[in-house]
Structure 1
Amino acid sequence: MADQLNETVIRRVIQHDLRLGDRGRKRDPALLEEVFRLTCRYTGQTPSYDTLAREAHRALRANVGPQRVNHYLRFLNESLLLRLVSPLEIRLKKSRGFPKICLADHSLRASWLQEEIPLDPQALSGAPHLTTVAGHLAESVTGALLCTIGGLDVAHFPARKDEPEVDFVLTIGTRRIPLEVKYQKTVDPLRDTEALRAFLEKSVNNAPFGVLVTQTTVTVDDPRLVCLPLSSLMLMR
């Protein structure tokens, strides 16, 4: 199944859809494969273009610059193999940070890297060393799902001075809804909701409530926060 997915989906985009690029601009299939491999490794995260360029240079022993990596990321985004979630711009501030990488489907990562990361809570409890990677993957799955909802603008909120990072911010009209993914066995009701509460308490954000996506059903003593397991969120597909 993994080989079939690699050949019929991923390599089809990388090798066959290259011709759909800008006229006169040639893309390097080897570099595109490497950039996609890196997005699988960094899914659910916001690596800088410099970081990705250094890793691609190390793997291919070729001159790879951050602008080229950015261009290839945009191509993969347009191909729908992944979604790039941009940083949120508030109060006309210049955009800061880099896009968050969310794979269109986590099975793409499993097939391309030949690496299974369990999201099922019971299976994950038997492999606690994979908890951090599973958390990034859960964030990727959440972001990819949110990007498919029509009429919803999805961004992420990078950490700023006195303002903690928020995994996702959903904008509907003039309202913003912060969303945090805490895919772990236990959730601390204060520490793990700090980013949501900080975002809600800034009136300029115009946020009526926040969402906490978890591994299992949890409750927190704050009427402004809605908690739901990732499995329940996925029912929206």
Structure 2
Amino acid sequence: MVQRKSNAKKIAWSGRIKAVQPRIRLMRSFDERHHSYQGYVLRIDGTCGDEIGEFLIAAGKVAHEKHQFRAGMVVSGLSVSVPDPRLETAGFYKTSGIKTEKNEEDTLSDGPPFLGVPPDLTTYRQRGHRRLDARTYEAKCITCIWACRMPVEMIIDHWNPSRKRYRFETFCYGPKSCPFYRAGPRRKVPGRNGMSYTEEDWVDEDATSHRGPDD
């Protein structure tokens, strides 16, 4: 059992954004799945408390609408340590007091990886995703606005919802023609009595069938 902190102490952080990706949680129950579109994850290179380095900050959709987060921005704020790391990609959430510095406009490449201002969460939902190989995500897509690393909560027994397992899965919401894209192995979801469900390729094809190759 992951220990939860009794005091939700706010921690000050600041630094330059290296990447912005959607903050989406995935719930699985055998062949069923449900997404919760919660906001955005900022990959920051800077200082968090008394630590220096890279860290992940969860920010809400309203904050993104206001600040239009993008790679290269210098930002600061206050956040709380995530009590259960199985449920969040970010290490810090409940973010407040966000301040941004006026930066010189950096010239960003057209991609891939795509580094502009991420769209709203409705756009991600409408586009649909394809599974993305975890190694490809780490090597080439970790800064792309169309990539997402989701915490996954799996209900093992539909008749006993308290039986759960947790893992992380990576997905791509980007153009189908992206040369970096690799699907990776099909994913299996455990079920009751040792059964398992394999998510076949047609699931991704169906979820993105309304998009063209360059969309």
TM-score class, shorter-chain normalisation, is: 0.3 to 0.5
Q: Give the TM-score, by structure 2 length.
A: 0.32
Q: TM-score, normalised by structure 1?
A: 0.30
| Larger strand proportion of the pair | 2
Q: If each structure's helix is expressed as a fraction of its own residues, which one has the higher value? A: 1
Which protein has greater RCO, CA pairs closer than 8 Å, 6+ apart? 2
